[in-house]
C-alpha cells in the first residue's frame, strides 16, 4: 500500500516562498515608510500591465511583461489607491504569517472594514491585486504565494500519481493515491504550491471534456498506458494549469493534450495551456506548460479515423477564430505545422469533437485511437 | 487507518437495478416483437412529459409526473423515431450487460452507424432519451441506471465520510477516505448509483461557492463540526444532487444548505436541490433532497450579523425572480416562513453573498457564524 505517513514532510519550497513574500512586502513598505519619515512623497513602482508592454519570446515560447514601469506616487488623486495597495499588501503579509488565504472575492469584502479606503466594487480590488501580482511576478512570486486564491478549483485527476499534501493542523504528510479513487477522482485545490508528487507515469494526458475523462477513468486507461489523467473541462483554470505545470516540471513528464478538433480547442484550450495569454502576461511564467503537445483530435485524424460523417460544419465564429489565429497569433506564427493544420481544417469546413470517436463504438477511443496515436508522439502538433 | 480492502463488496443494489432495467427493456420490446409477428402495428406507451402532466404533491414536497400517457405507434411518420427509441433501448441493454455507460453526447454519436435512423443532432437524441428516461422513472429506474450519464461530474467532497466504490477490473472494494485528502477533495463521478457510504458525521453541509468550500476544507471545519462538506458550485449538477440524496437517505443525515442570500440562491440553488424542478418532473424522485434545510445566509442574518454595509442592491432580475417565487411557485406557496423571508429581502432591497462574512475577518464564518447558526437547526428555513 501507498499510504505511508511520514511526519513533517519537506515544506522547504513553501517556506522559502513565504520568506521571499514577506521580504518583498517589507522592502517596498520600508521604502514608503522612509520617504514619509523624511517628509518626502512616497511612491511605489509597478510593472506596466498594458498590452503595449507585452513581449512574445519565441525562445521561451510564451508572452511576458516587458520592462516598462509605472510609478504610483502619493498625491491627492492617488491617495485612495495608494492606501489600498498598502493595505492589500499588509493583508497578504498577515495571511502568509497565519498560513491562511483569501479568494479575490473575500479580499474585496475584507476591505469593508478599512474605512474610507474600502473598495467600492470588486473591479477595484482586482485591479490593485493585479498590480501587486505583477510586481511579485517579477520577483518570481505567484499570486497564490501572496495567498490570494482563485475562486475556481482545478479539474479532476486520476491515475498513477501520489499527491503529497499536508495536514493543516498536525503538519503530517498526507498522501493521496490517485490510482485508488474508483470511478471518482482527486479534485485539485485552488492553490497547488505546497503539493509534492510521486509518480512512475510516462506522461500526463490532459483531456478536454468531462465525459471523455470519465470514460478513460472508468476503464482505467491510465493503468494500461501508465499515465496520469487530468480533466480540463474546457479552458483549464489557473489551478489546473499550475498543477499540470508543476507536475510536469518536477517529474520531467510530457503533457499530451486530447481536445476537440476545432479552433476553440486549438486556440483557446491548447494554446492557453501551453503558452498562456497576452492579457495576463505577468502570470504566464507560472502557468504555461512548455512540455505540452497536441495529441489530437487533429484535422488529419478526421480523415485517418473516418470521422467525416460525425463532424459538424464550422460556424462563423469558428472560421473567425481560425483566421485570427493564422493572422495575429505569434504562437501559431512560430509553428508552420499548426498553420498547416488550421488551413486544412478551414478547407474541410468541419469540426469534430473527441466524443465523435464513439461513432466506432464507445471504447474505440481506448482500444484503437489512443494506442495508435501514442505509438508516435513525434507526430503530435507542437 | 481506514483503508481495509474487502474482496467483492456488496453489489446487490446495482445488480438488482441492472436486472430490473433488462427486464423492463425486454418486456417492452417483446410486446413490439409480438405485434410484428401477428402482423399488427406495434406501439410503445410513454408518459406525457409536458407541463400539463406535472403535479406538485405538497405531501411528498416535489413535482412529479401525472398519469397521462402518449402512445407511439409505428406509422410512416413515426418510423424513424420508433426505430430510434428501440435502438437507444438496445444500446442501454448492451451497456448494462457490458457494465459500460455513455454520455448523452456519446449516445448521439453512437447512432452515426445506425444508417437511416441515425440522429441528425443531439436535440433529437436527447428528446428520445427523455422519453425512455420518463418511462423508466415510472418503474423506479433512473437515467444513470439505464447507463446514460450526464456530461458534468459532481462537486467536491471533504469530511468525515468514507465512500465505498469498486475496482472496475478486479471488483475489489475501494474505500476513499474524504477526511484524508489534504487541501484537495473527492470529485463526485457522473453516476453514483454504485457507491456505498460509511460515516459518523452529524450532517451534510452543502456549500454554494468554491471559495467558501476551500476555506471550510482548508481549516478542517468538518472535523470541528463533525460533518461532510459538499461543494455545489452554483446550481448543483445531477451527480451532486443524487450523491447528496443517496448519502442523506442511507445514513439518515440532515442536509444544511449554506448559500448566498439572494433570490437565485433561494429559488434556483436551494429549491432545485430540495424539490427539483417542474421541467424535469420525471427525475425529481431520484434527485430531490427532502432532508435539505436552509441554514443561511438568510435576510435576517444580514441584520443579526451586521452585514448591511457588505451587501449589494437587488438587481431587476433579482426582484423579478423573487416576485415570481412568491406568485407562482408551489414550493414557496407551501412555506409561509419562506414567503416571509423573501418579502423581508425585497423590503431591504439588498442581497448578501456568503463570502460577505469575510468583512469581520476571513475566518469569522468558521469561528462565529456557523457555530452560532448550528446551535439552532430548528431556526433554519424549511
Those of residues 110-169 in A touching chain B at CB distance below 8 A are 110, 112-113, 149, 151-153, 156, 163, 165-169
What is the distance between the alpha carbons of residues B162 and B9, in angstroms, rounded to a whole number?
14
Which of B119, B197, B210, B217 should one mutate to test binding to chain A, selecting the residue with the greatest count of A CBs within 10 A?
B210
What are the catalytic residues of B? 109
- Contact between B100 and A156 using a beta-carbon 8 Å cutoff: no
- Partners of residue A359 in chain B, C-beta under 8 Å: 109-110, 112-113
Asked whether the CA dihedral A12, A14, A18, A21 is positive or negative, the reply is positive
Those of residues 356-375 in B touching chain A at CB distance below 8 A are 356-363
Q: Please name the member of B105, B109, B355 whose beta carbon is closest to the beta carbon of A109.
A: B355
For chain A (length 382 residues), average pLDDT per consecutive 10?
Answer: 50 84 94 93 88 78 83 89 94 94 93 92 92 90 92 91 90 94 95 94 97 95 97 93 96 97 96 84 86 96 95 96 93 94 97 96 96 96 96
Q: Are strands B292-296 and B255-258 parallel, antiparallel or unpaired?
A: parallel
Per-residue pLDDT of chain B (382 residues; tens, 9 = 90+): 344 444 566 677 778 889 999 999 999 999 999 999 999 999 999 888 877 888 877 777 777 888 889 888 898 888 999 999 999 999 999 999 999 999 999 999 999 989 999 999 999 999 999 999 999 988 889 999 999 998 888 899 999 999 999 987 888 999 999 999 999 999 999 999 999 999 999 999 999 999 999 999 999 999 999 999 999 999 999 999 999 999 999 999 999 999 999 999 999 999 999 998 777 777 888 999 999 999 999 999 999 999 999 999 999 999 999 999 999 888 999 999 999 999 999 999 999 999 999 999 999 999 999 999 999 999 999 9
Reply yes or no on whether A109 is catalytic: yes
Q: How far is A188 from chain B (nearest CA, A)?
A: 5
Please identify which of the residues A109, A149, A256, A364 carries the catalytic annotation: A109
Using CB atoms within 10 Å of the CB of residue B330, give its burial: 0 to 12 exposed, 13 to 18 middle, 19+ buried. Answer: middle
Q: Please name the member of A188, A210, A310 whose beta carbon is closest to the beta carbon of B152.
A: A210
Those of residues 209-268 in A touching chain B at CB distance below 8 A are 209-211, 213-215, 217-220, 223, 231
Q: How far is A329 from chain B (nearest CA, A)?
A: 32
- Contact between B151 and A210 using a beta-carbon 8 Å cutoff: yes
- Partners of residue B209 in chain A, C-beta under 8 Å: 105, 151
- Contact between B166 and A182 using a beta-carbon 8 Å cutoff: yes
Q: Please name the member of A106, A168, A188 whose beta carbon is closest to the beta carbon of B220.
A: A168
Which of A154, A243, A358, A369 should one mutate to test binding to chain B, selecting the residue with the greatest count of B CBs within 10 A?
A358
| ipTM reported for the complex surpasses 0.85 | yes
Amino acid at each position: 500500500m501507498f499510504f505511508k505517513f511520514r511526519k513533517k514532510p519537506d515544506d522547504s519550497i513553501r517556506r522559502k516562498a513565504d520568506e521571499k513574500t514577506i521580504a518583498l512586502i517589507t522592502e517596498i513598505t520600508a521604502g514608503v515608510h522612509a520617504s514619509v519619515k523624511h517628509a518626502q512623497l512616497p511612491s511605489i513602482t509597478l510593472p506596466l500591465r498594458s498590452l503595449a508592454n507585452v513581449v512574445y519570446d519565441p525562445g521561451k515560447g510564451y508572452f511576458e511583461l516587458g520592462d516598462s514601469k509605472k510609478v504610483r506616487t502619493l498625491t491627492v488623486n492617488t491617495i485612495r489607491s495608494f492606501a489600498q495597495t498598502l493595505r492589500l499588501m499588509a493583508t497578504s503579509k498577515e495571511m502568509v504569517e497565519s498560513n491562511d488565504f483569501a479568494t479575490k472575492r473575500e479580499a474585496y469584502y475584507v476591505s469593508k472594514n478599512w474605512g474610507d479606503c474600502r473598495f467600492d466594487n470588486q473591479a477595484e480590488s482586482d485591479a490593485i491585486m493585479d498590480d501587486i501580482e505583477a510586481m511579485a511576478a517579477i520577483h518570481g512570486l505567484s499570486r497564490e504565494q501572496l495567498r490570494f486564491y482563485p475562486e475556481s478549483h482545478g479539474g479532476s485527476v486520476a491515475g498513477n500519481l501520489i499527491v503529497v499534501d499536508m495536514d493543516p493542523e498536525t503538519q503530517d504528510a498526507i498522501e493521496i493515491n490517485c490510482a485508488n479513487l474508483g470511478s471518482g477522482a482527486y479534485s485539485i485545490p485552488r492553490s497547488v504550491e505546497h503539493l509534492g508528487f510521486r509518480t512512475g507515469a510516462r506522461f500526463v494526458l490532459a483531456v478536454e471534456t468531462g465525459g471523455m475523462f470519465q470514460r478513460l477513468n472508468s476503464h482505467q486507461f491510465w493503468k494500461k498506458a501508465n499515465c496520469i489523467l487530468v480533466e480540463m473541462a474546457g479552458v483549464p483554470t489557473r489551478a489546473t494549469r499550475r498543477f499540470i505545470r508543476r507536475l510536469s516540471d518536477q517529474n520531467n513528464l510530457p503533457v499530451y493534450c486530447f481536445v476537440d478538433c476545432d479552433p476553440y480547442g486549438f486556440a483557446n484550450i491548447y494554446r492557453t495551456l501551453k503558452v498562456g495569454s497576452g492579457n495576463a502576461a505577468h502570470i504566464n511564467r507560472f502557468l504555461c506548460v512548455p512540455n505540452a503537445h497536441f495529441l489530437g483530435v487533429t484535422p488529419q485524424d478526421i480523415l485517418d479515423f473516418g470521422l467525416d460523417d460525425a463532424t459538424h460544419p464550422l460556424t462563423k465564429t469558428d472560421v473567425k477564430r481560425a483566421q485570427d489565429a493564422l493572422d495575429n497569433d505569434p504562437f501559431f506564427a512560430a509553428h508552420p505545422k499548426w498553420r498547416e493544420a488550421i488551413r486544412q481544417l478551414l478547407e474541410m469546413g468541419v469540426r469534430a469533437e473527441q466524443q465523435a470517436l464513439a461513432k466506432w463504438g464507445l471504447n474505440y477511443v481506448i482500444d484503437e485511437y489512443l494506442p495508435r496515436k501514442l505509438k508516435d508522439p513525434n507526430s503530435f502538433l507542437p
